[in-house]
Amino acid sequence: MKRWIIEKFFGDPDQVLSLLRRLFFENVPQHKLGYIASFACMGLVAATTGASAWIMKDIINRIFINKEEGMIWLIAGAVIIIYTVKGLSSYGQEVLLTRIGNAIIASLQRQIFDRLLKQTVDFYQRHTLGDLATRLSYSAQAARSVIDLVMTSLGRDLMSLIALTAVMVAQDPWMSIVVLLIMPGAVLGVSKLVKRVKLIMRAELKSLAQIVSTMQETAIGIRIVKSFNLEYVMRKTMTKAIRDVEKRSHKIAIAGAMTGPLMETLGGFAIAGVIVYGGWNVIQNGADAGSFFSFITAMLLAYEPAKRLARLNVQLHSNIVAAAMLYEILDQSIDTDEAPDAVELLIANGQITFNEVSFSYGNSPALNNISLNIQPNSVTALVGPSGGGKSTVFALIERFYDPIDGSVQIDNQDLRSVSFESLRSNIALVTQDTFLFDGTIGENIAFGKPGASADEVIEAAQNANAHEFISVLEAGYDTPVGEGGGRLSGGQRQRIAIARAMLRDAPILLLDEPTSALDAQSEHKVQEALDRLMKDRTTVVIAHRLSTVRNADKIYVMEHGQVLQSGSHSELIAQGGLYAHLCALQFREPVTKIFASSAV
Ligand code: ADP
């Protein structure tokens, strides 16, 4: 029976019930006191609502029929007290619930973001920003609404309904039975609308995410959008997403609003029935008119909470779908997680070894049984055609992924056994597309070392040849970089990234050399800074420039996830093969050298 009722009310009972249970167990207990206080307020609202109907009997009988003058003041005073208490407790309940609700949203958002931070790089490739952002804001809000809806329905509406029903039964039990028979009919009618709303809601969330994604693509790719005249493509995608959301919002609104007329009509029948029966009873049987009025007042007052309870179903459903999407993120497993007994990585000198490592991204193989021996205090260059697996080597050193076969070790410690914190704090990464966070130049450098002093930041910038251009800026280190660093030139951004790595001062440096040429002066300054940065570390560099590979202590030539050749520049040139071929065709001379040689 219970299951049948739940099914009628909420659709698939198992899913909904377990979601509700989880939402409540995880969020309600820590606000126990607040909920108890707001329930007390709701109890007062219900009691005073009941009292306001009850007092009608005395108003009619004692003032209007018996004409007891003394009662006028007494009853008027009682009415004032009843409504004042009702007003104050409504206020208290509202404030308490809102505060708890806001705290629940904040806590859910923190949980989601913490979970997202633990996710792998791969996860971010599978989810769009729009999708994640929608879940973070909209789904957390929906989860709070579910809890709020249940709390206010159970508390205020259900208690008020019970108080009013008690008044009705006390005044006229027979009439109450007639009314109570009509009410459940309305509830069943409403439950039919639920399935519809549920389907529309899921699609609605997808379209909302599409809107955010399109906006994001436009903002990030604005140069491409403009230079290729792609505005019409973006507009088309956006218009479609907006239209979808609009259409679905209409549908949801219509389904929700249909409960109104349904309840009005049934309410009309109930009131007419009561007037016929009650009027006949008063006129023919001389029944007490005060009780009749008290009854009809209770019934009219019961209408609102009953309507809200009937609608609860629809509202709860649209929010439950969104709340479920929140748990999809919170429950998403983490592919590469820290071992429960992870220990600190102890750096002896920073030797990195790949022992017969194989790795694939899903079904596409990226590394095939490779072994690398990367020596400390030296520069190891990875070279080879694009797609050869060089970036994957970096990703495995950072343990963004685990190898499928073989192992990666630093100073003979398997990366799977050490903590992420200790591993990554010993690595500095300088990528070709320097990513700068929204903030000032100083803050961006300081990310290299949490709690770095201003002097340390300046020293790092000096070593990275960045100080000179920063100090001539009007706001110096406090200059905002603009989202993604758009206000700085390529060479300047690289030098900021180098300063960040300088400050980190990690024993292991992973450097993905920029493929695009800078102007001669910038190139020279960047190179100088890099030379300083690479000193006395284990440096692994994905090399694109001839001078880098020439100076490297060891070179690994990679293609199709395999190491084809290894050795120093002169050894490899002597061997011939892919390396000699690459040297002849692919490597870029630094601009300074080209200029220098053309000047000769
Ligand atoms: P390189 O850095 O030498 O250009 P990568 O390590 O980026 O090579 O890529 C090695 C192979 O793995 C390529 O075939 C590439 O298409 C594939 N690959 C790289 N990253 C991913 C990814 N995130 N998902 C699926 N395949 C990937």
Weakest-pLDDT range from 10-14, 173-177, 573-577: 10-14
Structure tokens at 332: 């998403």
Give the atom of ligand 1 at the shortest distance from the alpha carbon of 360.
12
Cα 220 to ligand 1 centroid, rounded to whole Å: 22
Q: Is the pLDDT of residue 480 over 70?
A: yes
Best mutation site among 120, 367, 390, 392 for ligand 1 pocket (most ligand atoms within 8 Å of CB): 392
Over residues 417-436, the mean pLDDT reads: 88
Cα 545 to ligand 1 centroid, rounded to whole Å: 21
Q: Which residue's CA lies nearest to atom 7 of ligand 1?
A: 391
Give the atom of ligand 1 at the shortest distance from the alpha carbon of 385.
3
Under DSSP, the state recorded for 287 is -
Over residues 250-258, the mean pLDDT reads: 79
Question: pTM value?
Answer: 0.73
pLDDT tier for residue 192 given thresholds of 50, 70 and 90: low
pLDDT at 487: 73
pLDDT tier for residue 595 given thresholds of 50, 70 and 90: very low
pLDDT at 598: 38
| Max mean pLDDT range (49-63, 205-219, 249-263) | 49-63
pLDDT at 3: 52
pLDDT tier for residue 100 given thresholds of 50, 70 and 90: very high
Residue 479 — φ and ψ, nearest 5°? -70, 130
Sheet with 554-559, strands from edge to edge, namely 427-430, 508-512, 538-542, 378-383, 554-559, 562-567
pLDDT tier for residue 241 given thresholds of 50, 70 and 90: confident
pLDDT tier for residue 128 given thresholds of 50, 70 and 90: confident
User: Percentage of residues in the chain with pLDDT exceeding 90?
Assistant: 39
Instruction: Give residue ranges with CB within 6 A of ligand 1.
Output: 125, 361, 364, 366, 386-392
Cα 219 to ligand 1 centroid, rounded to whole Å: 26
Best mutation site among 364, 429, 541 for ligand 1 pocket (most ligand atoms within 8 Å of CB): 364
pLDDT at 491: 84
- Three-state SS annotation for 526-553: HHHHHHHHHCCCEEEEECCEHHHHHHCC
pLDDT at 191: 59
Residue 491 CA: distances (Å) to CA of 34, 93, 149, 432: 56, 59, 55, 11
Over residues 436-454, the mean pLDDT reads: 87
HSE-CB of 596 using CA atoms within 13 angstroms: 8
Could you tell me if 181 and 274 are in contact, meaning their C-beta atoms sit under 8 angstroms apart?
A: no
Over residues 341-353, the mean pLDDT reads: 92
Best mutation site among 391, 431, 541, 578 for ligand 1 pocket (most ligand atoms within 8 Å of CB): 391
Q: Which residue's CA lies nearest to atom 13 of ligand 1?
A: 387
- For the stretch 162-187, pLDDT in tens is 999 999 999 989 888 877 876 666 55
Query: Length of the chain, please?
Result: 600
Cα 511 to ligand 1 centroid, rounded to whole Å: 17
How far is it between the farthest Cα atoms of the chain? 123
Query: Which distant-in-sequence residues (6+ apart) come within 8 Å of 329 by Cβ?
Result: 112, 115, 116, 132, 135, 139
Cα 364 to ligand 1 centroid, rounded to whole Å: 9
